[in-house]
């Protein structure tokens, strides 16, 4: 047998490992650490038995106590619906227009709508509903598909280009990508559109040519005056509210490649009362019509 190496200073045997002249002592693990380790092993084994833990082919072991976080959530939702009680029932029966006429019902709808907005809409539109590039600001009075209660309710239910059969649909042509307009023509249209909202245009650009190109290609949706059409989802181009940016570069990008933002349909994700409350909440943010 190999002779055990004993450290001269401590009198403790070494493991035989050495790095740069430093030897590793073969100290036993602290007793408290060992007992903690053993306790954790016993706890883990007990946890496997008591709680859901082991995956099966198409399910998992339910555990002795049959705990389920999903079941708890369902129970909490049932309790919440019972807590809301009569007000939720009244909100479900009320017409959209009548909700804002009843102060108590309006307060309840706004409270429920605010909570639902934070959970479902804020990731895109922001906690304050001010939006960002590509996501509309819901506080202003500029609405692509209309800002009435009924219009908001429909948009919330079925979404925009969401794939739902009743979703709001439109498609702006990619004038540059499809070869409909040349690069210099796109620059002319972009600058003409900027002029509609009183913004400065690039020197030397033929705005008259841009106006004609707009009339030939864009007016069918946005109108001859550029004020848009909510029935077609065509934005108003005469204000300074831009979903994807109103600078020349952004407009050129939009005209060249088009935009096709998607809003999910909530009809299959949220219950009808919550969607109704959301419509009321958004309508009362300040920009509803």
List, as residue ranges, the binding site for heme c.
121, 124-125, 172, 218, 221-222, 263
Distance CA 177, CA 137 (A): 28
Closest CA to 159 of 170, 148, 172: 170
Q: What is the DSSP letter of 15?
A: E
Burial 92-112 (b: 16+ CB within 10 A, else e): eebebeebbeeeebbebbbeb
* Sequential DSSP letters for 23-54: EEE-PPPPHHHHHHHHHHHHHHHHHHHHSS--
Residue ranges of the annotated binding site are 121, 124-125, 172, 218, 221-222, 263
Burial 25-44 (b: 16+ CB within 10 A, else e): eeeeeeeeeeeeeeeeeeee
What is the distance of C-alpha 149 from the center of its chain? Answer: 22
**Can you give 210-239 as a three-state secondary structure string?**
HHHHHHHHCHHHHCCCCCCECCCCECCCCC
Distance CA 106, CA 100 (A): 5
What phi and psi values does residue 55 have, to the nearest 5 degrees? Answer: -70, 140
| Element at 14 (helix H, strand E) | strand 14-19
């Amino acid at each position: 047998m190999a002779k055990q190496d004993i450290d001269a200073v401590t009198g403790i045997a070494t493991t035989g490992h050495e790095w740069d002249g430093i030897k590793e002592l073969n100290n036993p693990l602290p007793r408290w650490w060992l007992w903690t380790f053993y306790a954790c092993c016993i706890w883990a084994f007990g946890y496997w038995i008591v709680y859901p833990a082991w995956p099966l082919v198409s399910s998992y072991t339910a555990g002795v106590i049959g705990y389920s976080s999903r079941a708890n959530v369902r129970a909490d939702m049932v309790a919440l619906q019972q807590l809301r009680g009569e007000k939720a029932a009244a909100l479900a029966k009320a017409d959209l227009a009548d909700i804002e006429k009843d102060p108590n019902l309006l307060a309840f709808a706004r409270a429920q709508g605010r909570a639902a907005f934070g959970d479902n809409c804020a990731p895109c539109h922001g906690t304050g509903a001010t939006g960002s590039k590509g996501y509309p600001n819901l506080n202003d009075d500029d609405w692509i598909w209309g800002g009435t209660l009924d219009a908001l309710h429909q948009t919330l239910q079925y979404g925009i280009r969401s794939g739902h059969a009743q979703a709001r649909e439109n498609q702006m042509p990619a004038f540059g990508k499809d070869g409909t307009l040349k690069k210099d023509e796109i620059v002319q249209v972009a600058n003409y559109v900027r002029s509609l909202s009183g913004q400065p245009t690039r020197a030397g650009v033929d705005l008259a040519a841009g106006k004609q190109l707009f009339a030939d290609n864009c007016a069918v949706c946005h109108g001859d005056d550029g004020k848009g059409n909510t029935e077609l989802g065509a934005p108003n181009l005469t204000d300074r509210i831009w979903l994807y940016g109103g600078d020349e570069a952004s407009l050129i990008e939009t005209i060249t490649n088009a935009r096709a933002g998607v809003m999910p349909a909530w009809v299959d994700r949220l219950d009808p009362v919550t969607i109704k409350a959301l419509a009321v909440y958004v309508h009362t943010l300040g920009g509803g019509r």
